[in-house]
Chains A and B, each alone.
Chain A
Amino acid sequence: MTFLKLENLKVYYPVRGGFFKRVVDNVKAVDDITLELKEGETYGLVGESGCGKSTTGRTLLGLNKATSGKIIFNDVDLLSLNRREYSQYRKDIQMIFQDPYSSLNPRKRVIDIIAEPIRNFEKLSSKEVKRKVQEVLEKVGLSPESIYKYPHEFSGGQRQRIGIARALTLNPRLIVADEPVSALDVSVQAQVLNFMKDIQKEFNLTYLFISHDLGIIRHMCDRIGIMYKGRIVEQGTTEDIYENPQHIYTKRLLSAIPDINPDNRDKHMAFRKQVDAEFNNSFNQYFDTEGKIVDLRPLSETHSVALP
């Protein structure tokens, strides 16, 4: 059974102009990507800003419209369903947003924020709703008494846990985490990451983990896809990517991470210069005649690369 598979997914934004505002061009935010997630794993989607990683995540939730392709979840193509059929699956896929400050409505109390998905999908009395909200709050390590507080009364890490609690209320199976810790300090970051690992084990969750931070990706993910200009250029297990990167873009991305050991500074800088030179020299080889990144080619069972 396929847990989740994105098949030849394309998301284009039309550029209109000229006579009668006809479509003159497309911005190819996501350009024909295929990837598969197994149940219970964490798949990391990495890339620089503008590479289409967030668009992929949002399309998966139906927040962006796919231009073509398939999103197969539990053997059903979500894009072929009508609204009512689709709503059954909405509960199973939830999202954790990047910024815990803007993703919580400041005028709602915690109970209303967390109960919103319950109210949308389940018919429960207000007592039951309250009990359920308190339950999830306890799971994320916040006190059940805080249900009548407002978001501004919490710290950044606590707010992100409220966001996670909201995502957990409907017992989802897949969570799209879009830069869940980028806005947080390192120590708070550690707290949220540990916590995400804990609940993953507890509820057998699958994560699509979107981030630009390669250190966090390495820590969290089982498998990784590197995105560049709307395409996946390399995909493999964490080990494949970090120990044996093949695509020049992956190499460049990895070499750009600052080395935490100051004694290696000069060595690391020389290495980065070398990779940069290689990147500039061989850059064009990785595109086909139309300037599109070539398709992925398998190297081993787990590892595939867009090599010419």
Chain B
Amino acid sequence: MSKQPLLKINNLSTSFRIGDDYYAAVDDVSLTVNENEVVAIVGESGCGKSALALSIMQLHPQERTKMAGEVLFNGKNLLSLSVSEMNKVRGKDMGMIFQDPLTALNPLMRVGQQIEESMKNHLQLSDAEMKKRSLELLNKVGIPNPERTYMQYPHELSGGMRQRVVIAIAIACEPKFLIADEPTTALDVTIQAQILDLMRDLQSQMKTGIILITHDLGVVAEMADKVAVMYAGEIVEFADVSTLYNNPLHPYTRSLFNSIPSAAHGQDRLHVIQGIVPSLKNLPRTGCRFSERIPWIDSATHEEHPALHEVEKDHFVRCSCYQHFHFPKDAEDLKYDIS
């Protein structure tokens, strides 16, 4: 099966204005999503993963944002499109699933109207056709009684049902590409499992390319084909899911894995990453950005201008410090940060 590059991001940087200066939240990120492929972006809050997603969709407020680089979708650079041209792409060729289904839905509109909204803008369909299609969509996302739900308001639905509606809206115009921003974070585990199954089914039916943004490494293991780990606006490690989980190399990736209770059971103490995720203004702009959180590693092992190295086929790691990384050995290193 040959895979076509669907979305190609080249050296994308997104900077936000704070006061009079611009600070890059997404810094020189390159990424390719092929057809029928799920690429997960993992990281803690503040690492720039959502900023990256919104940059692709161009949903940042323009007057406070500077973007550089290229986002190639179907050969077109999205960054050079005008607002009205972008409106034609957004919702039609690219869909987005938001994190919190309650705030993503309009509380004053019936579910049916909200699903039809994007069809109205992008497809020339009669009212009857749109209704028929909405009911089909509701059925497709596993809502038991589409006719009834069609006429309901979001507050009448449970969290899982609302998220299904959000997914129905995102796939209403059969986009070739989807961004799912923490699609299951607000849901219970059993509902999460259902939603993930649903997304996987839809993806294999429609051959969509998906960017899945999450902080949950379990969800990534269940869903993704490839994984990009982000820290402080940069991709620090990129590989296919099996390689990354069996052989994580970058210190940040390894620290993340060691701090999840489910992966570390049997071990009495969890690994704590020292310090905090730096805020946008205080991001270290030179050298290895993760160095200040692993102070016990000799600073000479970091590169001056850390680059992504291909350490094995299709496995990229930033900076050379991973070769010398070890977890803190004595108890002194493990102490919480005193601030």
Contact = CB atoms under 8 A, between A and B. Distances in A.
**A, B assembled together:** yes
Interface of A: 48-49, 141-143, 146, 155, 157-158, 185-191, 193-195, 197, 212-216, 218-220, 252-253, 255-263, 265, 268-269, 272
B284 interface: no
B262 A263 contact: no
A257 B339 contact: no
Contact of B276 (A146, A157, A218): A157
Interface of B: 44-45, 159, 188-193, 196-197, 215-222, 224, 241-242, 245-246, 255-256, 259-265, 268-273, 276-277, 335-339
Nearest to A146: B339
B188 to A, nearest CB: 4
Q: Is the interface of B mostly helix, strand, loop or mixed?
A: loop
Contact of A219 (B45, B264, B338, B339): B264
A166 B224 CA distance: 42
Contacts of A187: 44, 255-256, 259, 272-273
B338 A262 contact: no
B188 A49 contact: yes
Nearest to B190: A256
A157 B337 CA distance: 11
17 contacts: A141-B335, A141-B337, A141-B338, A142-B338, A143-B338, A187-B255, A188-B276, A190-B272, A190-B273, A191-B272, A213-B189, A219-B261, A253-B189, A257-B218, A258-B216, A259-B222, A260-B260
B215 A262 contact: no
B259 A219 contact: no
Contacts of B261: 190, 193, 213, 215-216, 218-220
A92 to B, nearest CB: 27
A186 B276 contact: no
B254 to A, nearest CB: 12
Q: Is the interface of A mostly helix, strand, loop or mixed?
A: helix
B217 to A, nearest CB: 6
A124 B322 CA distance: 53
Given A185-B45, A212-B189, 5 more contacts: A193-B261, A258-B192, A262-B220, A262-B221, A263-B242
B222 A258 contact: yes
B245 A262 contact: yes
Contact of A48 (B188, B197, B268): B188
B270 A219 contact: yes
Given A185-B45, A256-B190, A194 B245 contact: no
A258 B215 contact: no
Contacts of A186: 44, 215, 217, 256, 259-260
A146 B262 CA distance: 34
A260 B221 contact: yes
Contacts of B337: 141
B260 A215 contact: yes
A260 B262 contact: yes
Q: Which 5 A-B pairs have the closest CB atoms?
A: A215-B262, A258-B218, A219-B261, A190-B270, A190-B259
B270 A48 contact: no
Contacts of A252: 190
A185 to B, nearest CB: 4
A182 B264 CA distance: 18
A260 B189 contact: no
Given A141-B336, A218-B265, A260-B262, A193 B189 contact: no
B319 to A, nearest CB: 19
A257 B262 contact: yes
B272 A48 contact: no
B315 to A, nearest CB: 14
B221 A259 contact: yes
A260 B261 CA distance: 11
A286 to B, nearest CB: 16
A234 B151 CA distance: 39
A190 B271 contact: yes
A194 B261 CA distance: 11
B188 A260 contact: no
A261 B221 contact: yes
Nearest to B189: A256
A256 B184 CA distance: 13
A45 B245 CA distance: 31
A216 B189 CA distance: 13
B338 A193 contact: no
A142 B262 contact: no
A220 B197 CA distance: 29
Contacts of B245: 260-263
B247 to A, nearest CB: 12
Nearest to B255: A187
Given A215-B260, A215-B261, A265-B221, A256 B193 contact: yes
Contacts of A197: 268-269
Contacts of B269: 194, 197
Counting chain B CB atoms within 10 Å of each CB, the highest count among A146, A215, A259 belongs to A215
Given A155-B276, A258-B219, A260-B217, A189 B336 contact: no
Nearest to B159: A49
Nearest to A259: B221
Contacts of B220: 262
B21 to A, nearest CB: 22
Contacts of A49: 159, 188
A197 B334 CA distance: 14
B2 to A, nearest CB: 23
A193 B262 CA distance: 13
Contacts of B336: 141, 191, 194-195
Nearest to A155: B276
A262 B227 CA distance: 11
A79 B314 CA distance: 64
A291 to B, nearest CB: 19
Nearest to A49: B188
